[in-house]
Amino acid sequence: MNDAHTVTQPDSGTSTHLTVAPVAPGTGSLRPLGIDKVRISGGFWGHRQQLNRDAIIPHIARWQERVGWHANFDAVVNGTIAASRTGREFSDSEVYKLLEAMSWEIARTGDQELERRLQAIVDRIEPAQQPDGYLNTRHGNPGQPPRYSDLEWGHELYCYGHLIQAAVARIRSGHHDRLVEIACRAADHICDTFGPTGLAGICGHPEIETALVELYRATGQSRYLRQARLFLDRRGRHSLQDIEYGRSYFQDDIPIADAQVLRGHAVRALYLAAGAVDAAVEEQDRSLAEAVEHQYQRALRRRTYLTGGMGSHHQDEAFGDDFELPPDRAYCETCAGVASIMVSWRLLLATGNLGYADTIERTLYNVIAASPSTDGTAFFYTNPLQQRVAGQPSDPDEVSPRAHAQLRAPWFEVSCCPPNVARTLAQLATYVATTSTDGVQVLQYVPGEISAALGDGRHAHLSVSTRYPDDGEVAVTVVGAPRDSWTLTLRIPAWAEGATVEVDGKVAQAHAPSHTVHDAAAGSRITLRLPIAPRWTVANPKVDAVRGTIAVERGPLVLCAESVDLPDGADVQALRIDSTQPLRALGDGAAAAGTLLAPQEDTEQLYRPDAYAEDGRDIELPLIPYYRWANRGPSTMRVWIPTR
């Protein structure tokens, strides 16, 4: 066990464990680039990475300390945990997600002060681990429920999963420290306990599956891959109890390979899908990979909001039925956005389908970017597409008991989302580009540098300059390139009708999903022009909840109407948009549309025999990017606006 964390060649024979990135598969159509190979120098996401470092990560660390989630580990050591524990059953996992965010941030910036703070937290976790590797502050200590006595809700394996993901971030960034040792001891304990001849259980909340495959990739210890596969194979066989929400809530209703669509608790479903793709890729199990891709594709086609958000139910934080996508009760948990990006990214690497980068872009701009406040000290947990009643501001000094705080809250009783946002922002550079045997694929348009080793060992170095998404022009300068037989591929978003690519003065039409430039020489300049004029978007008529409405998008941004932009304190309920009039572009990704503002009287009957008259006065309605809503005080908001 002592060498469990030493980095060796994976059994698969591939060697991707040194990629400084959260996902480094042994096989696949495309290879990820480490965050040391892609530098985001500014712009939309550079600003958010800075905010993450300066505000979000410190805010999370401060709150976790304040609510006692770090002290829980001390109390395990002192033997006082049963009496003193604070937080929900999964609070350990939030500490581990913070460690993962810190780890990527340290890898990105080499911040030594952050390294010191990370080690200080590890100092408190390490002594709480039991000699056999068991580590949990809610179970298994004197006066607490026994280990693994509540697999439905105990979240022990889920917590290990996030511990392991943090350790993988350390290994991939070249550290082999105590955090890695703790995680490997825990992983070995899991294999010893839940192995083929052990306890035949699974965790109510998937996460351990992807974590164990990643730990296998990072350490080469194949028992971790085998254990992940065992958890995956055990799922869907009713080993967990039936509950009010049904076994579909934790995906224990149907074996993974037999399911037709993602269902149940959205984060659980997506973490499980990510783990299944990871295992399928390492084991070259094409049928498992195809089954999960089919389920995810169907979710994208029938169970996904325009923002990329997933989850239609508040009650069980779950996917709804096909086409059940209510904008006002959209749950769209921020963590489900993070999890959807995890699945899209894995499928993109496995299949080479750049369309998944469209989904990642949509989710990044309209879910992940919407969660933090402009100062990075408050967060959305749910991301509805309509706000009917202006919410009251959250108290910056109070924990919100509500996931659906009407305005962003500084902290939640269930605070999974803030650290999930933090780890995603810290690792963002890995999603910018990939490589293949003889090419580089640019997937996300951010200003910065891309230094790519092709599969055949040759190198390409690109410099990207753009104001995207405020502007549709993306200038790629080839700083260094192979002499010949290489390709530069640019993703063309599905919405980018009329995109062009100019190479050394020659302009060509570009079509989704991608445009490829061959043998661009060092020094050549390639200009991608994406049309980011505001555009109308309609929903499939099967989506009952938005019948008779229309939405406006601009580039990758979903726009919305917010009441603070309406005259005379009018409510967004009163809007009737005229989709026959042209849209007008405004600054900062905003737009304006001709609109009827109906009167606000509430005296009519709720139901009656004949149609209701709709009159009012014409205004030009400003529409702002969805990610910016609720930053100007209490307001009502809607993405889907009724048409005249």
Which residue's CB is nearer to a copy of itself, number 506 or number 612? Answer: 612
CB–CB of 325/266 below 8 Å? Answer: no
Q: Is 65 in the site for a copy of itself (CB under 8 A)?
A: no
Q: How far is the CB of 421 from a copy of itself (least distance, A)?
A: 21
Give the contacts of 553 (CB within 8 A, at least 6 positions apart). Answer: 306, 495, 534, 535, 537, 559
Q: Is 409 in the site for a copy of itself (CB under 8 A)?
A: no
Q: How far is the CB of 388 from a copy of itself (least distance, A)?
A: 4
**565 φ, ψ (degrees, to nearest 5):** -95, 0
| Total residues at interface with a copy of itself (CB under 8 A) | 59
Structure-token match 């401060």, residue found: 62
Choices 102-110, 139-147, 243-251, 431-439; region in contact with a copy of itself by CB under 8 A: 243-251
Q: Is 618 in the site for a copy of itself (CB under 8 A)?
A: no
Quick check: helix, strand or coil at residue 106? Answer: helix
Which residue's CB is nearer to a copy of itself, number 83 or number 611? Answer: 611
Q: How many residues does the chain have?
A: 644
Burial pattern 593-605, b for ≥16 Cβ within 10 A else e, equals: bbbbbbeeeeeee
Q: Is 401 in the site for a copy of itself (CB under 8 A)?
A: yes
Per-residue contact string for residues 297-336; x = within reach of a copy of itself by CB under 8 A: ---xxx-x-x------xxx----xxxxx-xxxx-------
H or E segment to which residue 529 belongs: strand 525-529
Q: Is 238 in the site for a copy of itself (CB under 8 A)?
A: no
- Strand 439-442 vs strand 487-491: parallel, antiparallel, or unpaired? parallel
Per-residue contact string for residues 187-226; x = within reach of a copy of itself by CB under 8 A: ----------------------------------------
Distances (CA, A) of 538 to 286, 357, 547, 551: 35, 22, 9, 6
Work out which of 18, 77, 82, 243 binds a copy of itself, going by CB under 8 A.
Answer: 243
Work out which of 541, 582, 599, 633 binds a copy of itself, going by CB under 8 A.
Answer: 541
Q: How far is the CB of 240 from a copy of itself (least distance, A)?
A: 13
Q: Is 568 in the site for a copy of itself (CB under 8 A)?
A: no
Which residue's CB is nearer to a copy of itself, number 275 or number 355? Answer: 355
Work out which of 113, 397, 568, 604 binds a copy of itself, going by CB under 8 A.
Answer: 604
Q: Is 569 in the site for a copy of itself (CB under 8 A)?
A: no
Q: How far is the CB of 546 from a copy of itself (least distance, A)?
A: 8
Q: Which of residues 495-514 bind a copy of itself (CB under 8 A)?
A: 495, 497
Q: How far is the CB of 358 from a copy of itself (least distance, A)?
A: 12
Q: Is 539 in the site for a copy of itself (CB under 8 A)?
A: yes
Q: Sheet harboring 525-529: ordered strands across?
A: 38-40, 448-453, 459-466, 473-480, 525-529, 500-503, 506-509
Phi-psi region of 409 (alpha: psi -120 to 50; beta: other; left: phi over 0): beta
Which residue's CB is nearer to a copy of itself, number 243 or number 453? Answer: 243
Work out which of 40, 191, 330, 403 binds a copy of itself, going by CB under 8 A.
Answer: 403
Quick check: helix, strand or coil at residue 76? Answer: helix
Work out which of 197, 287, 580, 605 binds a copy of itself, going by CB under 8 A.
Answer: 605
Two tokens, residue 604: 């009519």
CB–CB of 555/532 below 8 Å? Answer: yes
Rounded to the nearest angstrom, the gap between the alpha carbon of residue 395 and the centroid of all alpha carbons in its chain is 26
User: Can you say whether the dihedral through the CA atoms of 406, 409, 414, 419 is positive or negative?
Assistant: positive
Q: Is 143 in the site for a copy of itself (CB under 8 A)?
A: no
Q: How far is the CB of 541 from a copy of itself (least distance, A)?
A: 5
Work out which of 540, 585, 599, 632 binds a copy of itself, going by CB under 8 A.
Answer: 540
| Helix orientation angle between 91-109 and 417-426, rounded to the nearest 10 degrees | 20
Q: How far is the CB of 214 from a copy of itself (least distance, A)?
A: 31
Choices 196-204, 401-409, 420-428, 454-462; region in contact with a copy of itself by CB under 8 A: 401-409
Structure-token match 């993901």, residue found: 165
Work out which of 3, 65, 375, 413 binds a copy of itself, going by CB under 8 A.
Answer: 413
Candidates 527, 552, 556, 535; CA nearest to 468 is 556
Q: How far is the CB of 241 from a copy of itself (least distance, A)?
A: 9
Which residue's CB is nearer to a copy of itself, number 287 or number 605? Answer: 605
Quick check: helix, strand or coil at residue 561? Answer: strand
Choices 160-168, 219-227, 345-353, 385-393; region in contact with a copy of itself by CB under 8 A: 385-393
E strands, 346-458, are: 386-387, 433-436, 439-442, 448-453
Q: How many of the other CB atoms lie within 10 Å of CB of 72?
A: 24
Two tokens, residue 244: 């009010």
Q: Is 102 in the site for a copy of itself (CB under 8 A)?
A: no
Say how far apart CA 186 and CA 192 lie, in whole Å.
Answer: 10
Q: Is 559 in the site for a copy of itself (CB under 8 A)?
A: no
Candidates 97, 55, 56, 89; CA nearest to 72 is 89
Q: Is 615 in the site for a copy of itself (CB under 8 A)?
A: no
Q: Is the N-terminal amide bond of 513 cis, ω within 30° of 0?
A: yes
Say how far apart CA 176 and CA 184 lie, in whole Å.
Answer: 11
Q: How many of the other CB atoms lie within 10 Å of CB of 391?
A: 17
Amino acid (one-letter) located at 342: M
Work out which of 2, 587, 611, 615 binds a copy of itself, going by CB under 8 A.
Answer: 611
Which residue's CB is nearer to a copy of itself, number 494 or number 508? Answer: 494
Residues that bind a copy of itself (CB under 8 A): 242-246, 300-302, 304, 306, 313-315, 320-324, 326-329, 386, 388-389, 401-403, 413, 495, 497, 535-545, 547-549, 551, 573, 602, 604-612, 614, 642
